Amino acid sequence: MSSKMVLLLPFFLMFAALSWASSQTCIQPSTLPDLLDVTAEELITGLESGTFSSVDLTKAYILRIQEVNDVLHAVTEINPDALSIAAALDAERANGTIRSPLHGIPMLIKNNIATKDKMNNTAGSYSLIGATVPRDATVAAKLRAAGVILLGKANLSQWANYRSSNSSNGWSAYGGQVTGAYYPNMDPSGSSSGSAVSSSIGLALATLGTETDGSILSPSSVNNLVGIKPTVGLTSRSLVIPISEHQDTIGPMARSVTDAAYILSIIAGKDASDNYTSAQPWDTPPDYTRSLNFSSLRGARIGIPRNGITASNTSQPISDAFEAAIQVIKNAGATVVDNTNFSAWDAYVADSSASLGSESIVLDADFVSNLAHYLSQLTSNPNGIKSLADEANFTHAFKPEAYPSRDTAIWDQALSLGYNNSDARFWKAYQKTSFFGGEGGVLGALRAHKLDALILPTDYSPGLPALAGLPVVTVPMGFYPSNSTVVKSEHWGLVQVGPNIPFGLSFLGPKWSEEKLIGFAYAFEQRTHIRSKVQPYIVPNIQLGDVVQP
Ligand SMILES: *[C@@H]1O[C@H](CO)[C@@H](O)[C@H](O)[C@H]1NC(C)=O
Ligand SMILES: *[C@@H]1O[C@H](CO)[C@@H](O)[C@H](O)[C@H]1NC(C)=O
Ligand SMILES: *[C@@H]1O[C@H](CO)[C@@H](O)[C@H](O)[C@H]1NC(C)=O
Ligand SMILES: *[C@@H]1O[C@H](CO)[C@@H](O)[C@H](O)[C@H]1NC(C)=O
Ligand SMILES: *[C@@H]1O[C@H](CO)[C@@H](O)[C@H](O)[C@H]1NC(C)=O
Ligand SMILES: *[C@@H]1O[C@H](CO)[C@@H](O)[C@H](O)[C@H]1NC(C)=O
Ligand SMILES: *[C@@H]1O[C@H](CO)[C@@H](O)[C@H](O)[C@H]1NC(C)=O
Ligand SMILES: *[C@@H]1O[C@H](CO)[C@@H](O)[C@H](O)[C@H]1NC(C)=O
Ligand SMILES: *[C@@H]1O[C@H](CO)[C@@H](O)[C@H](O)[C@H]1NC(C)=O
Ligand SMILES: *[C@@H]1O[C@H](CO)[C@@H](O)[C@H](O)[C@H]1NC(C)=O
Ligand SMILES: CC(=O)N[C@H]1CO[C@H](CO)[C@@H](O)[C@@H]1O
């Protein structure tokens, strides 16, 4: 309680000062959207009507980041060129050049997505500071070409949570500890922690995250967001610091399904630099905003794989909210089929509890190969890191990397394998994981019951889709009630359960089914509007009215 008061006081004072400043201008605050909840379409309307410019928007977001970052550590760096890029995009708009619906709108991207500009790309490690790339990551290039302002880099669980057995979600050596905005010292989940927190309180319109197993879905869930974890191969991974070519994917983290759909439409597509994208069943990807149909649940068949829900003593509010969500989905005209269980669930659980499970082999072996491939593309590499072995050596020796209080157990295991993903033992493990996620898991359940999608509380949703490269969309479903008992993480004491901490609902489908999943998530969101029912404990007070010149 006392720490909450201490945190809030400086922001309250700053707000008082700025309210006075903005009252000196002629701008009517009511014509300006609140950046905490603003939608893409409200920003588009404001930019088109000239109520504010992209420079105004960029200034406001930079001030908002500076206002809260000392507490939340959500952003590792701000693009030093953001304001000049915004001015250039304003000039283009003035002469009639509109590159895409998101022309002139700022986004943050996770600090494992490289850009060829003044920003570092480090996965949160000091080892890669100053390293440079030959071009932007393909997803970053697509955003830039669409006129999106790359405002900065979001902090993350270091190495996308692929280093340590006893670190914390949202901690990186370079960026510090991200905390969530819904409870003091809140575990932000991860690994796209800074992306989630930044999007949740409006430090940009929205953000990009990356997922190998849960890293978009889980932080979106606990930070009250919509997250799209695309089919592996829908979005290019070229020049994104990898874990696993078989499981990695890049997706949007936004405050609404609509905003996420706008962003996915920009970043999806084939790329010769990531040949998994050549499996896309179309020449150009769909316009996902066409899936935003209030009636899309009508006539849909939705399954509940109950055996994938492993209840715990803190999950009663999640179970209650899930049952209420099922009723909303039925009332919206869907046929809900219960107990569409995963046939290989028990075998999957047994395999993943082994000391070296199949998924660990896949990720370890991929990481050894894929990290070396990423590093081989760098155009400068100040610390000469060429392999995982080099990286482990750097990390063990460089004090700010906090070794051994944050160990390197995952790397130690990957290095002790002694092989990479060209080895027959890798393929044996990959066959198992593909089966657990596919025919023994999501695909088998969909087929057996002729379903369009499965639903699960997001806490239980990432594992099987990760193994088979399948898409998932999460949307806010509820939050812990005010009398919840606080539960802290085992290491480093972050608050994982507590009053107001949100959680989501996931829709799972077969490869390339994002259009359907987005439609279902939208139909659910538009009937429930859960996001608006819970407020963060800390929000930046800077608004457009503080920067717009009359
Ligand atoms: C508008 O400005 C952009 C950027 O300065 C320039 O590339 C483009 O040619 C201009 N278009 C027109 C129609 O003037
Ligand atoms: C990149 O990292 C270096 C070292 O921390 C820092 O001096 C530089 O400002 C960083 N770049 C940006 C854009 O923050
Ligand atoms: C995909 O690209 C990788 C690396 O660029 C290459 O090793 C592999 O042979 C390619 N696979 C196909 C099917 O083209
Ligand atoms: C919206 O979804 C419903 C149910 O699937 C369908 O009947 C309707 O045609 C869709 N509307 C549009 C505009 O696609
Ligand atoms: C599905 O799983 C649930 C939870 O484990 C179990 O209670 C139920 O009996 C199972 N149903 C079928 C049809 O296997
Ligand atoms: C939940 O159960 C575990 C042991 O199963 C116990 O240690 C923990 O205190 C319980 N938490 C709550 C909030 O009851
Ligand atoms: C993978 O291992 C094989 C066999 O040891 C080796 O030839 C190859 O260079 C390794 N590839 C990478 C990317 O480490
Ligand atoms: C490990 O790093 C240290 C300095 O940090 C260096 O002196 C040593 O040569 C490195 N060893 C290997 C095997 O790369
Ligand atoms: C993490 O593990 C390492 C190695 O076992 C240990 O030295 C360190 O104390 C652990 N840190 C925490 C916070 O438990
Ligand atoms: C919180 O309140 C609800 C409704 O009054 C009650 O059912 C629940 O047991 C309470 N939980 C705790 C942890 O006190
Ligand atoms: C932009 C920014 O605020 N960066 C900060 C990220 O976190 C590190 C470690 O806490 C700070 O040193 C940076 O200033």
Chosen domain end from 387, 419, 451: 419
Chosen domain end from 363, 385, 419: 419
Could you tell me if the CB of 397 is within 6 A of ligand 8?
A: yes
> 53, 59, 110, 198: which one is catalytic?
110
Question: Are residue 415 and residue 466 in the same domain, yes or no?
Answer: no
Give the bridge partners for 190, in sequence order.
none
Residue 513 lies in a domain: yes
Ligand lying closest to the C-alpha of residue 119:
2
CA of 511 to the centre of ligand 11 (A): 38
Q: Name residues contacting ligand 6 (CB within 6 A).
A: 313-314, 485, 487
Compute φ and ψ for 542, nearest 5 degrees: -60, 135
Q: Which residue range forms the structural domain that includes residue 364?
A: 350-419
- Is residue 28 predicted with pLDDT exceeding 80? no
Three-class DSSP category at 50? coil
pLDDT recorded at residue 30: 64
Nearest Cα neighbor of 93 from 154, 42, 140, 51 is 51
pLDDT recorded at residue 365: 98
Q: Whose CA is nearest to atom 3 of ligand 10?
A: 483
Instruction: pLDDT band for 108, please (50, 70, 90 cuts).
Output: very high
- Mean pLDDT of all residues belonging to the chain: 94
Query: Which atom of ligand 10 sits closest to the CA of residue 483?
Result: 1
Question: Are residue 414 and residue 467 in the same domain, yes or no?
Answer: no
Could you tell me if the CB of 381 is within 6 A of ligand 8?
A: no
Give the bridge partners for 145, in sequence order.
none
Decide if 264 contacts 217 (C-beta within 8 A). no
Q: Whose CA is nearest to atom 4 of ligand 1?
A: 92
CA of 480 to the centre of ligand 10 (A): 10
- Is residue 12 predicted with pLDDT exceeding 60? no
Could you tell me if the CB of 310 is within 6 A of ligand 7?
A: no
Tokens 């994208």, residue located:
277
- Probe residue for ligand 9, chosen from 158, 163, 165, 166 as the CB with the greatest number of ligand atoms within 8 Å: 166
Q: Whose CA is nearest to atom 14 of ligand 4?
A: 293
Question: Are residue 215 and residue 272 in the same domain, yes or no?
Answer: yes
Question: Are residue 216 and residue 357 in the same domain, yes or no?
Answer: no
Tokens, residue 207? 């953000």
Ligand lying closest to the C-alpha of residue 316:
10
pLDDT recorded at residue 530: 98
Decide if 260 contacts 504 (C-beta within 8 A). no
Nearest Cα neighbor of 128 from 140, 146, 114, 142 is 114
Residue 143 lies in a domain: yes
Q: Name residues contacting ligand 9 (CB within 6 A).
A: 166, 404-405, 407, 491
Q: Name residues contacting ligand 11 (CB within 6 A).
A: 69, 73, 75-78, 175-176
Buried b / exposed e along 283-295 (16+ C-beta atoms within 10 A):
eebbebbebbeee
User: What average pLDDT score do residues 177-192 get?
Assistant: 98
- Is residue 329 predicted with pLDDT exceeding 60? yes
Question: Are residue 506 and residue 404 in the same domain, yes or no?
Answer: no
278 belongs to the catalytic site: no
CA of 232 to the centre of ligand 7 (A): 23
Instruction: pLDDT band for 29, please (50, 70, 90 cuts).
Output: low
CA of 403 to the centre of ligand 9 (A): 8
Torsion sign (Cα): 307, 308, 314, 319:
negative
User: What average pLDDT score do residues 24-30 get?
Assistant: 49
User: What average pLDDT score do residues 122-127 get?
Assistant: 98
Could you tell me if the CB of 331 is within 6 A of ligand 10?
A: no
Q: Kindly give, in sequence order, each residue whose CB lies less than 8 Å from that of residue 92, ignoring residues fewer than 6 positions away.
A: 98, 99, 103, 147
pLDDT recorded at residue 315: 87
- Is residue 7 predicted with pLDDT exceeding 80? no
Ligand lying closest to the C-alpha of residue 85:
1
- Is residue 58 predicted with pLDDT exceeding 50? yes
Q: Number of structural domains, the chain?
A: 2
Q: Which long-range contacts (CB under 8 A, 24 or more apart) does 93-101 make?
A: 93/47, 93/54, 98/147, 99/145, 99/146, 99/147, 100/146, 100/147, 100/148, 100/266, 101/40, 101/44, 101/262
What is the number of other CB atoms lying within 10 angstroms of the CB of residue 200?
29
What is the number of other CB atoms lying within 10 angstroms of the CB of residue 87?
15
> 167, 199, 200, 215: which one is catalytic?
215
Could you tell me if the CB of 485 is within 6 A of ligand 10?
A: yes
Tokens, residue 178? 């991200």
Question: Are residue 415 and residue 467 in the same domain, yes or no?
Answer: no
Nearest Cα neighbor of 218 from 195, 248, 236, 198 is 195
- Distance CA(43)–CA(517), nearest Å, equals 25
Residue 535 lies in a domain: yes
Residue 455 lies in a domain: no
CA of 80 to the centre of ligand 7 (A): 39
Residue 148 lies in a domain: yes
Tell me the per-residue pLDDT of 376-418, one tens digit each, with 9 for 90 and over.
Answer: 999 999 999 999 999 999 999 999 999 999 999 999 999 999 9
- Distance CA(123)–CA(367), nearest Å, equals 14
Give the bridge partners for 356, in sequence order.
none
- Probe residue for ligand 8, chosen from 381, 390, 391, 393 as the CB with the greatest number of ligand atoms within 8 Å: 393
Could you tell me if the CB of 421 is within 6 A of ligand 7?
A: no
Nearest Cα neighbor of 474 from 521, 537, 541, 414 is 521
- Is residue 340 predicted with pLDDT exceeding 70? yes
Tell me the per-residue pLDDT of 296-328, one tens digit each, with 9 for 90 and over.
Answer: 999 999 999 999 998 776 689 999 999 999 999
Torsion sign (Cα): 400, 404, 409, 415:
positive
User: What average pLDDT score do residues 150-164 get?
Assistant: 98
Decide if 121 contacts 112 (C-beta within 8 A). yes
User: What average pLDDT score do residues 173-199 get?
Assistant: 98
Q: Name residues contacting ligand 2 (CB within 6 A).
A: 77, 80, 118-120, 129
Q: How many residues does the chain have?
A: 550
Ligand lying closest to the C-alpha of residue 165:
9
Q: Name residues contacting ligand 4 (CB within 6 A).
A: 293, 295-296, 298-299
Question: Are residue 482 and residue 388 in the same domain, yes or no?
Answer: no
- Distance CA(178)–CA(233), nearest Å, equals 29
Chosen domain end from 396, 419, 442: 419
3-state secondary structure 472-495: EEEEEEEECCCCCCCEECCCCCCE
Q: Kindly give, in sequence order, each residue whose CB lies less than 8 Å from that of residue 151, ignoring residues fewer than 6 positions away.
A: 58, 61, 62, 78, 79, 82, 106, 107, 108, 204
Decide if 505 contacts 322 (C-beta within 8 A). yes
Could you tell me if the CB of 372 is within 6 A of ligand 7?
A: yes
Question: Are residue 270 and residue 385 in the same domain, yes or no?
Answer: no
434 belongs to the catalytic site: no
Three-class DSSP category at 331? helix
Tokens 């010149």, residue located:
549
Question: Are residue 391 and residue 486 in the same domain, yes or no?
Answer: no
Residue 22 lies in a domain: no
343 belongs to the catalytic site: no
- DSSP letter for 182, please: S
Residue 340 lies in a domain: no
Question: Are residue 111 and residue 199 in the same domain, yes or no?
Answer: yes
Q: Residue 218 belongs to a domain with what CATH number?
A: 3.90.1300.10
Buried b / exposed e along 351-365 (16+ C-beta atoms within 10 A):
beeeeebbbbbbbbb
Tell me the per-residue pLDDT of 257-287, one tens digit each, with 9 for 90 and over.
Answer: 999 999 999 999 999 999 999 999 999 999 9
Instruction: pLDDT band for 509, please (50, 70, 90 cuts).
Output: very high
| pTM for the model | 0.93
Could you tell me if the CB of 369 is within 6 A of ligand 7?
A: yes
Question: Are residue 111 and residue 163 in the same domain, yes or no?
Answer: yes
What is the number of other CB atoms lying within 10 angstroms of the CB of residue 529?
10
Question: Are residue 286 and residue 170 in the same domain, yes or no?
Answer: yes
- Distance CA(301)–CA(417), nearest Å, equals 43
C-alpha dihedral, 184 to 188 to 194 to 199, nearest 10°: -80
Residue 290 lies in a domain: yes
Decide if 253 contacts 196 (C-beta within 8 A). yes
